[in-house]
Homo-oligomer: A and B are copies of this chain.
Amino acid sequence: MSIFRVDMSQKTVMSEAEPKGKILGGRALVDYLLIEYGTPTVHPLSQESLFIVAPGLLAGTGAPQSGRLSIGGKSPLTGGIREANVGGAAAHKLSRLGITGIMVEGRCKDWQILKIEAQGAILESAGDIVGLTNYPACDKLRERYGDKVDIILTGPAGEMRLANSTVAVTDPDGRPCRHAARGGLGAVMAAKGLKAIVIDDTGGKVRKPIEGEAFKVAAKAVTDAIKSGPATNALHTLGTVMWVDSDNGRGSLPTNNHHLGSFEKHENINATKFTELVKARGGSFGHGCLPGCIVQCSTVFNDQSGKFLTAALEYETIGMLGSNLGIDDLDAIARMDRKCDELGIDTIELGNTIGILNDAGLFEFGDVKKAESYLEEIEQGTAMGRILGSGVAVTAKAFGIDRVPAVKGLGIPAHAARSSKGWAVTYATSPQGADHTAGGVAVEHLSAEGQGDRSRISQIRMAAFDATGLCLFTFLSAASNLIVPMINALHGMKWSEEDYLEFGKDILRQERDFNLKAGIGPGADRLPDWMMREPLPPTNAVFDVPQEDVDSIFNF
Which residues from chain A sit less than 8 Å from chain B, CB to CB?
A: 39-46, 48-49, 76, 160-163, 187, 191, 382-384, 386-387, 390, 394, 397-404, 408, 515-526, 528-530
- Determine how close the nearest CB of chain B comes to the CB of A171; give it in whole angstroms: 28
> Are A400 and B523 also in contact (CB < 8 A) when A384-B383, A387-B386, A387-B387 are?
no
Copies of this chain held together in the complex: 2
What are 29 inter-chain pairs, A to B, with CB distance below 8 A? Answer: A41-B523, A41-B529, A42-B529, A43-B404, A43-B528, A44-B402, A45-B400, A45-B402, A48-B529, A49-B402, A76-B397, A161-B400, A161-B401, A162-B400, A163-B397, A191-B402, A383-B384, A383-B386, A383-B398, A386-B398, A386-B399, A387-B387, A394-B398, A516-B523, A517-B523, A518-B523, A520-B521, A521-B522, A521-B523
Contacts of A394 in B (CB 8 A): 390, 394, 397-398
**Cβ A398 vs Cβ B390 within 8 A:** yes
Q: Which residue of B lies closest to A391 (CB)?
A: B397
Interface residue from B45, B520, B525 paired with A523 (Cβ < 8 Å): B520
CB distance from A373 to the nearest CB of B (A): 13
- A402–chain B nearest beta-carbon distance, Å: 4
**17 more A-B contacts (CB under 8 A) besides A41-B529, A520-B524?**
A39-B529, A43-B402, A43-B529, A76-B397, A161-B401, A162-B400, A163-B400, A191-B400, A382-B383, A386-B398, A398-B398, A516-B521, A516-B523, A517-B523, A519-B520, A519-B523, A519-B524
Q: Which residues of B contact A390 (CB under 8 A)?
A: 394, 397-398
Report the bound CA distance from A162 to B401 in whole Å.
10
How far in angstroms is the closest Cβ of chain B from A194?
Answer: 15
Interface centre among A160, A401, A402, A522 (most CB of B within 10 A): A402
Q: Within the complex, which residue of B187, B400, B529, B530 is in contact with A400, where a contact is CB–CB below 8 Å? A: B187
- A381 (CB) vs chain B CBs: closest residue: B399
Task: Output the least CB separation between A518 and chain B (Å).
Answer: 5
For A396, the closest partner residue in chain B by CB is B43
Q: Within 8 Å CB of A521, what residues of B?
A: 515-516, 519-524
* A193 vs chain B, min Cβ distance (A): 13
A6: min CB distance to chain B, Å: 19
Question: Please, how many angstroms separate the alpha-carbon atoms of A403 and B161 in the complex?
Answer: 13
A521 CA to B431 CA, complexed, in Å: 14
Question: Which residues of B are found within 8 Å of A382, using beta-carbon distances?
Answer: 383
Question: Closest CB of chain B to A198's CB: distance in Å?
Answer: 24
Chain B residues in 8 Å Cβ range of A46:
402-403, 529-530
Chain B residues with CB under 8 A of A515: 521, 523
Nearest-neighbour CB distance to chain B for A532, whole angstroms, equals: 9
CB distance from A455 to the nearest CB of B (A): 18
In the bound complex, what is the Cα–Cα distance between A191 and B161 (angstroms)? 31
- Please indicate the chain B residues that have their CB under 8 angstroms from the CB of A40 in the complex: 523
- Chain B residues, Cβ within 8 Å of A522: 516, 519, 521
Distance (Å) between the CB of A146 and the closest chain B CB? 32
User: Top 10 closest A-B pairs, CB basis?
Assistant: A161-B400, A521-B521, A519-B524, A383-B383, A45-B402, A383-B384, A519-B523, A43-B402, A46-B402, A386-B398
Q: Which residues of B contact A516 (CB under 8 A)?
A: 521-523
Q: In this complex, what residue of B is CB-closest to A48?
A: B529
**Would A398 and B387 count as touching, CB distance under 8 A?**
yes
When distances are taken between beta carbons in the complex, the residues of chain B under 8 Å from A43 are 402-404, 528-530
Distance, CA A76 to CA B401, complexed state (A):
11
Min CB–CB distance A401 → chain B (angstroms): 8
Residue in chain B with minimal CB distance to A404:
B43
* Chain B, residue nearest A530 (CB): B46
Distance in angstroms between the alpha carbons of A384 and B515 in the assembled complex: 31
A105 to chain B, nearest CB (A): 14
Inside 8 A of A524's CB, which chain B residues have their CB? 519-521
Complex CA gap A528/B42 in Å reads 7
Please, how many angstroms separate the alpha-carbon atoms of A478 and B236 in the complex? Answer: 78
Q: How far is the CB of A258 from chain B (nearest CB, A)?
A: 14
Task: Decide: A526 and B397 in contact? CB cutoff 8 A.
Answer: no
Please indicate the chain B residues that have their CB under 8 angstroms from the CB of A519 in the complex: 408, 520-526
Residue of B nearest to A43 (CB): B402
Complex: A519 Cα to B46 Cα, angstroms: 24
Contacts of A402 in B (CB 8 A): 43-46, 49, 191
The interface residues of chain B lying within 8 Å CB-to-CB of A49 are 402
Q: Enumerate chain B residues within 8 angstroms of A520, measured Cβ to Cβ.
A: 519, 521, 523-524
Across-interface contacts of A48 in B (CB, < 8 A):
529
